[in-house]
Amino acid sequence: MSDEIWRRDEIESPCIKVCVIQPEVRLCTGCLRSIDEITAWSRMSPEARRTVMAELPSRQGQLSKRRGGRAARLAR
Domain of 50, in residue numbers: 11-62
Asked whether residue 55 is assigned to any structural domain, the reply reads yes
Asked whether residue 28 is assigned to any structural domain, the reply reads yes
Q: Is 41 left (phi over 0), alpha (psi -120 to 50) or beta?
A: alpha
Asked whether residue 74 is assigned to any structural domain, the reply reads no
Asked whether residue 69 is assigned to any structural domain, the reply reads no
Distance CA 17, CA 30 (A): 7
Asked whether residue 38 is assigned to any structural domain, the reply reads yes
Asked whether residue 71 is assigned to any structural domain, the reply reads no
Judge contact between 37 and 52, C-beta under 8 A.
yes
Q: What is the pLDDT of residue 64?
A: 72
Asked whether residue 29 is assigned to any structural domain, the reply reads yes
- Domain count of the fold of the chain: 1
Q: What is the pLDDT of residue 70?
A: 62
pLDDT of 69 over the 70 cut: no
Closest by Cα among 40, 17, 39, 37 to 29: 17
> What's the whole-model pTM score?
0.70
